[in-house]
Structure 1
Amino acid sequence: AFGGDMLWVSSIIPKAATLLEACRNTPNFGLIVHTREGYAPDLSDVGPVKQRRSVNSGAPIGANGPLGRFLIRGERGQDTIDRLKPREGEIVLNKHTFGAFVSTNLEEILRSKGIDQIIIAGVTADVCVHSTMREAVDREFECW
């Protein structure tokens, strides 16, 4: 989630919610991990190239938007929408990269639980989901 208008992803949300509920309702499913891209309010964890790319794309990290500052941890826009909110016992990882492995301890968490098969889903398939999938495959996870 981010501090901008999320209408462009609204068609994906029901599908993501259905998948999430199916996972939650599957006995012995394993672990549900939520990730969200976000940065420190002072932008200290945004590299110069990433910041420049965000400015050039018209969505500068840290810019004010209708839901707060864009991609800033703690802002309303970084909260997960109600239909997809994590439940007690589900893990939430904040990341500052598109992929979920590079800037988190996700691999350590999965390996410590003996998990080697993962389902990857989300609302930005062309960015974060795709990046996470490639990172997972490179780490020898079976991905669905």
Structure 2
Amino acid sequence: MTPQFKIKRFAELSAAELYKVLQLRSEVFVVEQNCVYQDIDGKDAKAIHVFAEQDGEVAAYCRLFGQGDYFENASIGRVVIGQKYRDRKWGHAMMQAAITAIEDIWKTPAITISAQLYLKKFYETHGFVQDGEQYLEDGIPHIRMHRK
């Protein structure tokens, strides 16, 4: 079953939706990946939020930025799938929803991401190519990737 993704601006998120999004991001990026960093970074208000809910929780999420908001190109960040939903391949459906949303909202195919290194092959299946050397972001190896 492919999830139904919601696409909302920050002001359109309900308090419950925002809470569930932040809960998932903290669960995976802070607890599971054992990475102490400031997830609530002041950028959510500028972002478009793409997410799918399942069983009363946010199961898949990412946020989108227009050109110049984060990188020179439009971008996708905070890509996360809840641990119990990863076997469903929802990451691929979410990336397609995110790419389509960027093309529809900002009328551009050019997207830049800061990807965790271990997900390089995943992003390559969506047309991204590595752009530069590996670097550490919050103690985790990352690479910059772009899609044109």
If the length of structure 2 is used for normalisation, what is the TM-score? 0.33
Q: Quick one: higher RCO (CA 8 Å, sep 6+), 1 or 2? A: 1
**Structure having the higher Rg:** 1
Higher strand share: 2
